[in-house]
Amino acid sequence: MKQLRFLNLGYNMLTEVPDDIKSLSTLEILIMGENDISGLKCDDFSKTTRLKELYLNANRITKLERCITENLVNLKVLDMSNNLLKTFGDSFKVSLQKLEALDISRNPIKYLDTDVFQHMKALKELKVETYHFVDVPYFSGLENIENVTIYIHTDSTFQSLQSNNDKPFSDVKTMKQLTLIGSSNTQWMPFRTIREMLRAYGDLGTVTVLNIYINYYEVETFELNLQLKSLTLSLTDLSSLGSKFFLPLPNLQNLDLSKSKLRSLDFLVQANLSALRYLNLTDNEINVISETVFQSLPSLRFLNLDNNPFSCECSNAGFIHWVVTNPQTQVVNAHQYKCFFPVDKQEGLLLEFDVQSCRDDGRFLYFISSSFLVALTLLSSFIYRFLRWHLTYTFHLFRAFLYDSRKGRKKDPHRFDAFVSYNVHDEDWVYREMLPVLEGQQGWRLCLHHRDFQPGKPIIENITDAIYGSRKTICVISRSYLQSEWCSREIQMASFRLFDEKKDVLILLFLEEIPARHLSPYYRMRKLVKKRTYLSWPQAAQHPGVFWQNVQRFNLFHQYILAQPAL
């Protein structure tokens, strides 16, 4: 027994440290966990100066005094978790210079004052528990600390930390892993508590937050943790989590959001997680997943979606296809994912859902839609190219027909012998050449725009009244006339009257020679209605008297003049 280095006395219902321990001077590892030890005496470990690991967890120890630890100069691991310790006194201020791992969690420690650990220069791993934070746990003096786990009681007595503005960052640069574990899910923890801890340690590589319900997620939470590679937010409520929350974490590789009440993964689309390799989303409330979500995760290698209430409908067809065909990401246990919706597919397997039926329906719909659009485009192009003037003409015929039916024109006497349709640029010729002959010499009653149109009445109604209120319509055609929109409407209305009444009501007077190619498609189309004789002013320049006699003949006889042009 003099050379004994390892001794396990766990689960022996010990109420105190046996006296024989004092004689084991070579002992290096002593396990006395899971007993009923209620107190420690100053000489219990006075002779075991070579002790490197001491496990006193799960006892009933209420007090830890300085004299108990002062001889443990070689101790590297001390586990006193799950006891009844409330304070440490000054037991950690001396002797434990080589201690690397300390676990004092699961003790009813009311106030956590991290200054008590500042003399443990070699400490690398620390586990503590608290109800109150006296200040942001900076762990000053712990030059080698790497891993800290804090169990937090978030019951009604919990008080959040008060940030020390004079010391916003910890001088500890070795901290790589921070774990915060709540003891209750019935209380919300002020978010400032977690945010200030993360800001204090900018070089963290791993952060784990478990069973802590946070009331608000701030975008600035991780703005100083650019080196973070692993993040766990589990046993909480992330149902309102936004994509901006992860923007400061471009180097994140592992993300665990299990048991966090997630219903949608849309927040991942713009989360800037291009380096993410492992994603755990088990035990959430996710029904439908869009395959486009994973396009924003180009480095993803492992995905776990166990225990989610998937919907086996076409809304998940894209995701199912992605799971089956993508060569990069392994979806853990995908073949065991069950259907929860609709009711008739419950207990069925997600990957057995027939996505082909969704594709066929979609393809048929796309085919019908695209075919209809192509046909509509071709038909519209054909109508515009070949029939637009026919449609325009038909439209005006219809308007004139409605007007004719409403007015009952056959019962109304003609007020004028002729309505003169001309362009304003040709007004001088009308008043200088036409009016003196037709009104002055031949006694015509002419209807002119500026003289006989009723003021305040819509122009189109004035035009219609003038055409149907006159026995003839004289169109004074020139290049300006052909370019005028209103002149075009006037001749269209007059053409309908010619077509409807089957008698000579239209007189065409050309003031200048206009080649056929310059005539608009409307005037060419009019030849389909009936051949017309026209009068040319340039051809009658030497015989104006004959020209006006021919005009008079149109007024005297209600019939067409031969197919040859008159002078």
Rounded to whole angstroms, the Cα distance separating 329 from 338 reads 20
pLDDT confidence of residue 565: 38
pTM of the model: 0.62
- For 217-333, strand residue ranges (E) read 230-234, 254-256, 278-280, 302-304, 310-311, 330-332
Check if 229-353 and 391-556 are the same fold.
Answer: no
Rounded to whole angstroms, the Cα distance separating 493 from 508 reads 14
pLDDT confidence of residue 94: 72
pLDDT confidence of residue 184: 63
Q: In a 3-state reduction of DSSP, which class is residue 466?
A: helix
**Would you list the domain boundaries of the chain?**
229-353, 391-556
- Name the DSSP letter for residue 359: H
pLDDT confidence of residue 396: 58
Rounded to whole angstroms, the Cα distance separating 190 from 185 reads 13
pLDDT confidence of residue 75: 94
391-399: long-range contacts (C-beta < 8 A, 24 or more apart)?
Answer: 392/492, 392/522, 393/492, 393/495, 393/522, 393/525, 396/489, 396/492, 396/493, 396/496, 397/492, 397/496, 397/499
pLDDT confidence of residue 58: 96
Domain with residues 391-556, CATH architecture? 3-Layer(aba) Sandwich (3.40)
Pick the CATH number of 229-353 from 3.30.1130.10, 3.40.190.10, 3.40.50.10540, 3.80.10.10: 3.80.10.10
- Joined tokens for residue 469: 């209120």
Q: In a 3-state reduction of DSSP, which class is residue 421?
A: strand
pLDDT confidence of residue 92: 82
Strand partners of residue 371: none
Residue whose structure tokens are 């107190």: 39
- 149 backbone dihedrals φ, ψ, rounded to 5°: -120, 125
- Joined tokens for residue 304: 């776990």
Answer for the pair 61, 80: CB distance below 8 angstroms, yes or no. Answer: yes
Give me the sign of the Cα torsion angle 195, 200, 205, 209. negative
Residue type, 491: I
Answer for the pair 225, 249: CB distance below 8 angstroms, yes or no. Answer: yes
Rounded to whole angstroms, the Cα distance separating 464 from 456 reads 15
Mark the ranges of the chain whose per-residue pLDDT is less than 50.
163-169, 186, 409, 522, 524-526, 528-530, 557-567
Answer for the pair 464, 493: CB distance below 8 angstroms, yes or no. Answer: yes
- Name the DSSP letter for residue 175: -
Give me the sign of the Cα torsion angle 519, 521, 527, 532. negative
